[in-house]
Chain A
Amino acid sequence: MENNFLIDSDELSETGLARKHQIENDPSARINHMEYLPGMDVIDSDIRYKVISEMESYDYSKYTGKDVLRALASDKCTIEDFKALLSPAAEPYLEQMAIKAQKETGKHFGNTVYLFTPLYIANYCENYCVYCGFNCYNRIKRLKLSMEQIDHEMQVIAESGMEEILILTGESPTKSDVKYIGEACKIARKYFKMVGIEIYPVNVEDYKYLHECGVDYVTVFQETYDSDKYETLHLMGNKRVWPYRFDAQERALMAGMRGVACAALLGLSDFRKDALASALHIYYLQRKYPHAEMSLSCPRLRPIINNETINPLDVGEKQLCQILCAYRIFLPYCGITVSSRESAEFRNGIAKIAATKVSAGVSTGIGDHEEKYNGEQAEDSGDEQFEITDGRSLGTMYIDMTEEGLQPVFNDYIYV
């Protein structure tokens, strides 16, 4: 079973539509996704090779209950143990995995859960990623916030009590250049204690600049670590260059960022292999940059505007829970973020087992926080990247997490 991603907009011109179809149907019409484009930093690193060779040789069907039990009984989780925990053989042991994961989370994070909110400042995009609401062929309302609008949005969010913000854009270096994002980050520093970004991958020099603007955390989702599959989903734009994206976290760390986050978008490809690769990406980064803070996200595919049918296929909540428990057992020190793509019930439950960070007061649209937070109609707003499931406000999230026996934390960070 596969998702049907390809949707034609009736607003496209005949030539536009012909071009779209050509890119979709004729692989030779697309650029080589493994080749860096001019101007892209090429760094010296063996992490990609290590991650991909482990992923390619991973045959999850060969693991048995015995391997899972051995992994659960061991004090240390080796890569082999982790592979067993991610395999179908581990599914009957989900409760035992959760118990072990909860213990590890407690040792490293206590009962704390960090709260943050994402802020989308622009939804222009130059890429054609078939599953994404922002893709350049999707007919949506586009918007880029001005600095005044950004300031206002941030003020509204800060008034709710939020202290950590994640700034996001569509991937358009021309519409939302590094300077624009940097200015937004400088404003964010006025209102928030901690600023992270989730933007298109950039070069080391640009990450350095953004760090100087107040950013310390960089999130880049690889979407899928299977580069052949990636090629069929990211048909156009800079984002198509798979290795440049893979190296983004390393470039960010080379630029002096304190922490990085990785993820695969679950549902795009073989989720067990993608989960393995995501965690190994973190594992090898940590070995090379031991001072850096590591974090994993676990997004699952969601419906988008003009395509309600998109879903995460075989990655159900049980599978997601298995992945997150395995992540926790293999990488006890790693932060784990669970976004508003997941339901309130799932997030409440998983925060007690493995997750350390949840978002609240979320909008994936542009410029609509005033409307969402205070009920005041926004003058102008841009459409959303995907539909969220858990729309809880910061206040509600705080109360709910406290009622689950967790301690919500707004900030545990200092910019030095």
Chain B
Amino acid sequence: MEKDKLVIGGKEFDSRFILGSGKYSMKLIEAAVKDAGAQIITLAVRRTNTKDEENILDYIPEGVTLLPNTSGARDAKEAVRIARLARELGCGDFVKIEIMRDSKYLLPDNYETIKATEILAKEGFVVMPYMYPDLNVARELQNVGAATIMPLASPIGSNKGLATKEFIQILIDEIDLPIIVDAGIGAPSQACEAMEMGAAAIMANTALATAGDLTLMASAFKDAINAGRKAYLAGLGRVLTRGASASDPLTGFLH
């Protein structure tokens, strides 16, 4: 386990919990770092674009990698502009692409996401695209230089868990990049399940932000993610199908 690192853009991380940016507060960031062990924290560039006293950049503890996102972008062009602005603001080279052309469900636009990923990867960004789990799109994102793939589990903020489980499993099986499950994870059990499946990390925000006890929920996520990771590395045991094993093997006629 000690050597089990999450590697993104050549950078190593021990933690497999990433804090999302939807609902921000000092308390949430503190809990995510102290109790959930987060080493990567997402922040919306549009929120950093503010005056001194309200600047989220000041809330981010040292040693934590910033993952600016392009929320608010409606197409590739806007996402690219926001990513470049993030770099100018001193947020580093990591960028999470979020392109939404739907204000109701905030579902990502896969087509525009591919275009933005290609441009930004060429400019040396470590591009982490948020996407709807589609294998062809994931392959294309890999081809154009994405550093990870971040499929959604269910609509953002919904806490509905792994609604797209089967399709995320296909991405995990077929894509040679870290698959980070993003959006919709509402409970530690869901995070654990995704990790058992082979997800490389979990991004969550609302599940913590809306919990009754923030710090306790943060540590619950940490435990769940670790448990799921261990289970994945250990290899899940055999699950008996209904009716157990047939006593007369079907292939008994073969001599």
Residues of A within 8 A of B (CB): 106-112, 161, 163, 193, 286, 290-294, 333, 407, 409-414, 416
Asked if B25 and A106 sit within 8 Å, CB to CB, the answer is no
Which A residues lie within 8 Å of B92 (CB)? none
* 10 extra interface residue pairs, beta carbon distance < 8 Å, beyond A110-B209, A291-B102, A412-B47: A106-B210, A107-B159, A110-B22, A110-B25, A294-B103, A333-B105, A409-B54, A410-B51, A414-B49, A416-B77
Asked if A107 and B47 sit within 8 Å, CB to CB, the answer is no
Asked if B50 and A410 sit within 8 Å, CB to CB, the answer is yes
Q: Does B46 interact with chain A (Cβ within 8 Å)?
A: yes
Asked if B51 and A163 sit within 8 Å, CB to CB, the answer is yes
B89, chain A: closest CB distance, angstroms: 11
A332 to B131 CA separation, bound complex (whole angstroms):
22
A298, chain B: closest CB distance, angstroms: 20
Asked if A411 and B206 sit within 8 Å, CB to CB, the answer is no
A333 to B22 CA separation, bound complex (whole angstroms):
13
Q: What are some 6 contacts across the A-B interface (CB < 8 A)?
A: A291-B74, A333-B103, A410-B50, A411-B47, A414-B72, A416-B78
A291 to B104 CA separation, bound complex (whole angstroms):
8
A95, chain B: closest CB distance, angstroms: 20
Contact of B51 among A161, A292, A294 (CB under 8 A): A161
The SS class assigned to the A binding surface is: loop
Q: How many residues of B contact A (CB 8 A)?
A: 34
Asked if A292 and B103 sit within 8 Å, CB to CB, the answer is yes
A291 to B51 CA separation, bound complex (whole angstroms):
27
A108 to B156 CA separation, bound complex (whole angstroms):
9
7 closest Cβ pairs, A-B complex: A110-B23, A414-B46, A291-B101, A416-B78, A411-B50, A290-B102, A107-B157
Q: Does B171 interact with chain A (Cβ within 8 Å)?
A: no
Which B residues lie within 8 Å of A290 (CB)? 101-104
A110 to B159 CA separation, bound complex (whole angstroms):
13
A292 to B103 CA separation, bound complex (whole angstroms):
6
Asked if B50 and A111 sit within 8 Å, CB to CB, the answer is no
Q: Does B44 interact with chain A (Cβ within 8 Å)?
A: yes
Which A residues lie within 8 Å of B104 (CB)? 286, 290, 333
- Please judge, given known A-B contacts A409-B54, A414-B45, whether A111 and B157 are in contact too, CB under 8 Å: no
